Amino acid sequence: MNYIDGFVVPVPTQRKEAYRALCTQAAQVFKDYGAIRVVECWGQDVPAGQVTDFRRAVQATDEETVVFSWIVWPSKAVRDDGNARAMRDPRMQPGAEMPFDGRRMIIGGFEVLADV
């Protein structure tokens, strides 16, 4: 069964194209190391919740857009190896200025429970 890495991160709205360039490059690296699919979604309809919501979870400001992303791996073992190799890849080394604040990124690995 596939394994999923999920991410939520606030990105300054004005940095959308810089983020697109970065995530496109990162997607290729992850695919080079075994990822099946990488999906990056730019928030458009991210409503406020009564208790919590995506925006509050990452402390997004009015000048930021919430990005929801996931990587599909064939298995957790492939993910563990591929992710470790990707993090050592020179293409994944941060440049002088990242287009988002990584300290507010939410990251998690998930076993697929249902895929209908």
* CATH number of residue 59's parent domain: 3.30.70.100
Q: What is the pLDDT of residue 43?
A: 98
Radius of gyration, CA atoms only, the chain: 15
Mean pLDDT computed over 13-36? 97
Q: What is the pLDDT of residue 113?
A: 95
How buried is 23 (Cβ within 10 angstroms: 0-12 exposed, 13-18 middle, 19+ buried)?
buried
Mean pLDDT computed over 80-96? 91
pLDDT surpassing 80 at residue 94: no
Q: What is the pLDDT of residue 98?
A: 87
Q: What is the pLDDT of residue 12?
A: 98
Nearest to 92 by CA among 32, 22, 42, 43: 22
Whether 102 contacts 58, CB under 8 Å: no
Alpha helices per DSSP H over the chain:
16-32, 54-57, 76-88
pLDDT surpassing 90 at residue 96: no
Number of domains in the chain: 1
**Residue at 3 is within a domain:** no
**Residue at 60 is within a domain:** yes
Mean pLDDT computed over 7-22? 97
Q: What is the pLDDT of residue 93?
A: 85
Q: What is the pTM of this model?
A: 0.94
**Residue at 97 is within a domain:** yes
Nearest to 23 by CA among 34, 4, 36, 7: 7
Q: How far apart are the first and last CA of the chain?
A: 13
Using CA atoms of 68, 72, 75, 78 in order, give the dihedral in degrees to the nearest 10. Answer: -100
Domain containing 80 equals: 13-111
Mean pLDDT computed over 2-25? 97
pLDDT surpassing 80 at residue 87: yes
